[in-house]
Structure 1
Amino acid sequence: MDSLKDLFRGCILGTAIGDALGMPTEGLKLDEIKRIYGYVDDFYPSPDLKAGEWTDDTEQMILLAESIIDRVYFDPDDFADKLRNWAERAFRIRTGPTTRQALRNLIAGMQWDKAGVDSATCGASMRVAPVGLVYHFSINLVEKYAVISSSITHKNSSAIGGAVAVAVAVACILSDFNEDEMLEEVLKRTRTFDPLLADKIEYSMEIRDEGLDYAVEKLGNSIMTWDVVPMSFYCYFSSKDFYSSVTKGANAGGDTDSISAIAGALSGAKYGFKAIPEKWVGAVKDSSYLLNIADMLYDTHVNIVKITT
């Protein structure tokens, strides 16, 4: 298999696996997770989902991926349509409050550039990885599309900055930037939207040798972008493999599904599909479809590069 295709697969499967690992612990405190689970390193059920199932984080990531596959270049009208068509299901599952309001706005007939809500929750960051994958040949384009994709639901500057940070990080990883180079690019582009968020991402690298408890205390684990995104980067920077990155996210408490999903996207993009434990690949929901999505995103990327070179 092409090594780049393996990274696409790792990123997409990594998002879903991280989401599914963090799903049952979402909303719990770090010490509650320790008491109930010990240490989460496998899939568990929750009251509303079976073991290995994922949340709206992955569902929205798939919608974004499908839109990119359908349109080749990012089309906000198409993505907004897909979100609108998904709304009925979204209202039945644990979709975040900002996305719910944006969906109501879309249903009411608002155009995509008017529907977004001025909220700093992390919904735009957790789904954005496909943008970093497909367009990694141009980091300027990645930033542009991350901004637009966020604003359809989340038009707050922190939420947009988080989407930029994650998408740019994925793009840099696929472009063989080392960690320092990737961090520099992420900070430069994130700081334009939210200097505090950029500072916390930078700090997540500085404390990479500290334990998870310390990182949670210093970075936070709420649903807000300025907590989730830096915490995800900590999980990535402090780990030497995919397994460690996503399990840290699942055990961090708070918005564990989003933290682990983003950590899974970053570490999956770095280490690739082959580095993901087979037991998780076999047990995560719809793994075959996720692999197909990854392969179609890869083909879309290849076709764009052929056209532009």
Structure 2
Amino acid sequence: MSATSGAVWGRAEQQDFRSRVRGTLLGTAVGDALGGPVDGLTLEEIRAAHGPEGLVDLGYGYGRRGTVTHHTQLTLFTVDGLIRAQVRRDTGAWHPPTDLHRAYLRWAATQRDWGPDERRKEDGWLAREEWLYARREPTRALLLGLGDERMGTLESPKNPDDMGPEAVARSAPFGLLVGWEPQLVVQLAVECSAQTHGHPTACLSAGAYAVIVHGLARGQSLDGSVQQALALLAARPGHQPVSDALQHALGAVRQGMPSPGRVEELTGDGAADGMLAAAVYCALVGEDVRHGLSLAVNQAGPSAVAGALTGGLLGALHGETALPPAWVAELEGRQTILELADDFAMEMTQGPALHSPVGASPGWLARYPR
């Protein structure tokens, strides 16, 4: 069954897919919101502020509970870009990295402008959501990578020495392209990483994360999805650090009770490969979503990234109903996230009914202009 070829989806398949899409996006945001307030703190500092068990509930960030960071913002613009790529395909133009780059430039505008420009109808609806215009400590690599119109490519990447995890943290939506072959999911995530984080370790970590989510969204186990990612990585130059990190995560599962020390060992210096490994480990050993996310954020590494990556995996694996409802209820931008998730699920399962080369829904094209 191909989501991009107009294949017919059964009702049960559509419902399962929508639950996994919602789970992935809400899980990313909930993990991001959980980890954001303790990002950059040591475990001792986290425990001093939140008690001996560390952070086990949403904390206060940017003035309230449940606020997200730039990781969630960029994840949402990734979804927007993927929908726009599908819509624009009707025109005969089919180059998803370009559509993703345009989406990321729309995010970059939210970091510069006071609020949405209602006159720019071509921006679509997501760029008019005022809450997304909050600046949530985006990294220098993101701002430099998207600071001009030139699109980074694998041949000429932006920030070619940057191994940071930010590109990985926005890559879960690529894995929701369940009608694509896994190697194409890897390729798209890798190419889009090069727009801001061009080091091979960053690019291949993004590709590996996307294809792990892809396996989960198609109903595979987490261990099986990681094994598939390792097999696909093996053919790519420069894969060894990422492959080693994933193998390290799998090995750590068999080393006794989970602990913050083990998570910190996996995160290392906070580069993309270490954060990917930590997220895989926390998702594998977590007794449930709450436990897995708490394990991810209670460590000295980048807690928001760890939470976002772990949440994306657990949401794709279990669907939206497995997420802690009290956390989802307080989540900043929840209605926007749900609306975007449902639009993505509808586009991927029923796109031909929404638009085609011979006709289209005016309302859909207003939301996602060609």
**Structure 1 length normalisation: TM-score?**
0.91
Over residues 125-145 of structure 1, what are the superposed CA-to-partner deviations in whole Å (9 max), with x where a residue is unaligned?
A: 000111101245421221121
Residue 126 (structure 2) aligns with? none
Kept after mapping to 1: 8 A contact 2:32/2:307: yes
Q: How many equivalent residue pairs? A: 303
Task: State the match for 1:200 in structure 2.
Answer: 245
Report the equivalent of 1:213: 260
Specify the alignment match of 2:119 in structure 1.
none
Cα distance in structure 1, aligned partners of 2:151 and 2:223: 39
Distance 1:111 1:259 in 2: 27
Alignment partner of 1:116 is 2:158: yes
Which range moves more in the overlay, 161-170 or 294-303? 294-303
Question: Which residue matches 2:143?
Answer: 100
| Cα 1:256/1:217, change in 2 over 3 Å | closer
Q: Is 1:78 aligned to 2:99, yes or no?
A: yes
Instruction: Check conservation: 2:178, 2:217, Cα contact below 8 A.
Output: no
AA aligned to 1:42 is: D
Alpha-carbon contact 2:73-2:107 (below 8 Å) kept: no
Match of 1:162 in 2: 205
Counterpart of 1:195 in structure 2: which amino acid?
Answer: Q
State the one-letter code of the partner of 1:33. Answer: I
Q: Is the 2:145–2:152 contact (alpha carbons within 8 Å) kept by the matching residues of 1?
A: no
Q: Does 1:245 align with 2:262?
A: no
TM-superposed CA distance for 1:283, in Å, is 0.2
Give the 3-state SS of the residue equivalent to 1:203 in structure 2.
helix
> CA distance change for structure 1 residues 123 and 136 in 2, over 3 Å: closer, same or farther?
farther
- Residues 218-229 of structure 1: matches in 2 within 5 Å? 218-229=265-276
Deviation per residue, 1:142-181 (Å, 9 max, x gap): 1121111111111110001111111011111122223332
The alpha carbon displacement at 1:124 in A equals: 1.0
Paired residues of 2:260 and 2:298 also in contact (CA < 8 A)? no
1:168 counterpart letter in structure 2: V
Residue 134 of structure 1 aligns to a residue whose secondary structure is coil
| Match status 1:25 vs 2:72 | no
Give the residue type in structure 1 aligned to 2:47.
Answer: K
Letter in 1 for 2:189: A
Instruction: Tell me if structure 2 keeps the 8 A contact 1:238–1:245.
Output: yes
TM-score, normalising length: structure 2:
0.76
Unaligned runs of 5+ residues in structure 1 are none
In structure 1, the residue corresponding to 2:310 is in which secondary structure? helix
Larger Rg: 2
Q: Which amino acid aligns with 2:214?
A: A
Tell me if 1:176 matches 2:219.
Answer: yes
Q: Which amino acid in structure 2 is aligned with residue 240 of structure 1?
A: E
Distance in 1, matches of 2:214 and 2:158, equals: 25
State the partner residue of 2:59.
Answer: 44
Q: Does 1:259 align with 2:259?
A: no
Check 1:18–1:196 CA distance in 2 against 1; reply closer, same or farther (3 A cut).
same
- Pair 1:290-2:332 in alignment: no
Within 2, Cα distance between the matches of 1:249 and 1:136?
30
Equivalent residues of 1:221, 1:231 under 8 A apart: no
Query: Offset of 1:301 from its aligned partner?
Result: 2.1
* Runs of 4+ with deviation above 6 angstroms: 304-307
Percent identical among aligned pairs is: 24
CA distance in 1, matches of 2:22, 2:193: 23
- Greater fraction of residues in helix: 1
